[in-house]
Amino acid sequence: MTQMRGADAIAKTLRSLGVDVVFGMCGHGDLPILDALIGSGIRFISCHHEQIAAHAADAYFRVAHRPGVVLTTLGPGMMNTVTALGDAALDGSAMVVISGDIPDRFEGFGAYQEVDLNGGDEQYLVSRPVTKRSYRVTDPASLSYTVARAWTESLSGCPGPVHLHVPLNFMSAKGDYRMFEPIQIERPALADGVAARILDRLASSKRPVIYAGGGVLTAEASDALTRLAEATSVPVATSMIAQGAISESHPLSLGFTGAVGARPANHAMKDADLVIAVGTRFSEMDSSSWHGDQFIRRTGCDVIHIDIDPRQLGRVYVPVIAAVADAREALTQLATLASTAKPAQRNDYWAELNASKDAWNEETSELRRQDEVPFQPPFVIDTLRRLLPDDAIFVSGVGVRHMVGQHYPVRKPGTMLVASGLSTMGWEMGAALGAKVARPDAKVVGFIGDGAFNSTVSALPTAVAEGINVTWVLLDNLGYQCIGVYQDRHYGRRIATDFQVWPGGATYQIDYVGLARAYGADGETVSKAASLEKALQGAIDRDRNYLVHLPIAHHIKPLPSGTFDVNAIAAGETELLPAVLR
């Protein structure tokens, strides 16, 4: 037992857990912890908005595989993290958010920024839908214990965010605190005999596909996945978030699935007679909205589903084998057992798959060669792919990023970060900061649309002030054109998707390079295709925040991926039922 403030107990516990960086923002409710961080060995990265801090913590986990930690004040400080918590929850990112709160003796009086319309001190309830657990600390003696438990909770099973709600007076009061150490979490393997049963089914399959989800990356199971694919000569498709789980330059890779994915992956999944799915929740976006037989056939295809989270098994597709197991443990078992057997010969199947991949590559290559200005995104993406080393981290969000995966082969795990689940616009701004903090030696590119940049621009002054150097590539199409495309298609008219000055409808053009310079960064606008490669290479080579502003065509040319487009629902063209209910 050691005499100290509660805030010191929190800081010391975090340090014992291996935490060396905390993202957040100052406020009345977290002052004692901020003070305790001084001299603790933990760097505090002061963000200009709490949502940016939480997005940074999310990406920090995806790269470092250690929970990102966020510190906020109460009320709006904590509430500003909720959107980012939703991203982390749906994408399986471990995060610990510590928010200050009113002194416990003030409960129910409306002090400070108490959330109490339906009961006293209910701030912790706000985060419940988007966290694995929201802890309301009720005893200062339990501070160290609760921090350590939250850390464990964030990492156990499917990783995710955890929230700690700590009264201000608990942080300030001195007392004798018992310090708690981290515990080792053992990851479950496949039960005896399950691997053999899976491989028996695989041996009799004519058109099998291994489907890898984000859990494969989280479990650091890419090597095991590749060994299994090679040992069995079975193709691999991935979800969007799992790009790079197998190198997309590998002959066995089909790319990722979904409306913005690769046609070979979508067609292989649709025509498969066996799908071995590992570490995936079969998200709607990845799975053609579970529409008809557009992803996995309702009849004629068996599904084997392996996941660390038992809630996902049978949730969308009913498996013939369902196994709760860690992705790395399960894939290692399967790869080891498969290495002793001769893979089945499926020559006709592979000839068909390779023809599909060749045709897809020819179509996408044609788009990548289109160098008109305003730019088409494929030309820009292809240029970046040629310039960036394989271990560079490419951070991309929603909107125009949806074309990235079709033109940017990911060759190493953990080098493509996307907001796949909640898909928050602007996620990539904060995420680029977290990625760079996790791997300061890596080149990090934040690939962002103008709409997303405007919504989360506070990440830029944070990056400059904190010395977090990112190459920013800003695609400016003067609006929310990924939504405008669907307005044109379904309604033949637009509202709210073009940046215009009201009244009159004149185009509203922002000086993004001037804005970057005002924040202390630098940048340039590229208006000629011949200048693009030099500008991007110069930005990548600079060890500072540099923004490359690119005018992008209003009407981009997406390549049909051979799958159902959920946006048809917006126009009332179809109704859906989850696959398991059909």
Spatial CB neighbours of 362, under 8 Å, sequence gap ≥ 6 = none
Number of domains comprising the chain: 3
161 shares a domain with 246: no
Q: pLDDT band at 110, cuts 50/70/90?
A: confident
Closest listed residue to residue 495, CA positions, set 483, 477, 509: 483
Q: How confident is the model at residue 286, as a pLDDT?
A: 92
391 shares a domain with 341: no
**Does residue 545 fall inside a structural domain?**
yes
pLDDT in tens, 443-464: 999 999 999 999 999 999 999 9
317 shares a domain with 390: no
Domain end position, chosen among 129, 147, 177: 177
Average of pLDDT values for 165-174? 93
Q: How confident is the model at residue 119, as a pLDDT?
A: 73
284 shares a domain with 145: no
Largest separation between any pair of C-alpha atoms in the chain: 74
pLDDT in tens, 235-283: 999 999 999 999 999 999 999 999 889 999 999 999 999 999 999 999 9
pLDDT in tens, 383-410: 999 999 999 999 998 876 567 889 999 9
316 shares a domain with 218: yes
Q: How confident is the model at residue 112, as a pLDDT?
A: 78
- Pure H helices in 388-458: 404-407, 427-438, 450-455
Main-chain phi, psi angles of 417, to 5 degrees? -110, 125
pLDDT at 573 over 60: no
**Does residue 558 fall inside a structural domain?**
no
229 shares a domain with 164: no
76 shares a domain with 125: yes
Closest listed residue to residue 389, CA positions, set 540, 568, 216: 540
pLDDT at 571 over 60: no
Rg (CA), the chain: 24
CATH number for position 84? 3.40.50.970
Q: Are 522 and 484 in contact (CB under 8 A)?
A: no
Average of pLDDT values for 112-117? 74
Domain end position, chosen among 152, 177, 202: 177
Q: Are 499 and 479 in contact (CB under 8 A)?
A: yes
Of the given ranges (212-226, 296-310, 353-367, 474-488), which has the lowest mean pLDDT?
Answer: 474-488
262 shares a domain with 306: yes
Model's pTM, two decimal places? 0.95
Taking the CB of residue 464, how many other CB atoms lie within 10 A of it? Answer: 18
pLDDT at 9 over 70: yes
CATH number for position 352? 3.40.50.1220
* DSSP states of 101-160: E--GGGTTTT-TT---TTSSS-HHHHTGGGSSEEEE---GGGHHHHHHHHHHHHHSSS--
**Does residue 384 fall inside a structural domain?**
yes
- Pure H helices in 439-509: 450-455, 459-466, 481-491
Q: pLDDT band at 565, cuts 50/70/90?
A: low
Average of pLDDT values for 284-298? 89
pLDDT at 220 over 80: yes
Domain end position, chosen among 133, 150, 177: 177
CA–chain centroid gap for 280, Å, is 13
Q: How confident is the model at residue 183, as a pLDDT?
A: 85
pLDDT at 301 over 60: yes
Q: Are 445 and 470 in contact (CB under 8 A)?
A: yes
d(CA 514, CA 499): 18
pLDDT at 123 over 90: no
439 shares a domain with 307: no
Find the helix packing angle between 427-438 and 50-64, rounded to 10°: 50
153 shares a domain with 235: no
Q: How confident is the model at residue 127, as a pLDDT?
A: 94
Spatial CB neighbours of 581, under 8 Å, sequence gap ≥ 6 = none
pLDDT at 556 over 80: no
**Does residue 396 fall inside a structural domain?**
yes
Q: Domain range spanning residue 247?
A: 194-357
Give strand pairing partners of 582.
none
pLDDT at 415 over 80: yes
404 shares a domain with 531: yes
pLDDT at 570 over 70: no
pLDDT in tens, 70-96: 999 999 999 999 999 999 999 999 999
pLDDT at 310 over 80: yes
232 shares a domain with 161: no
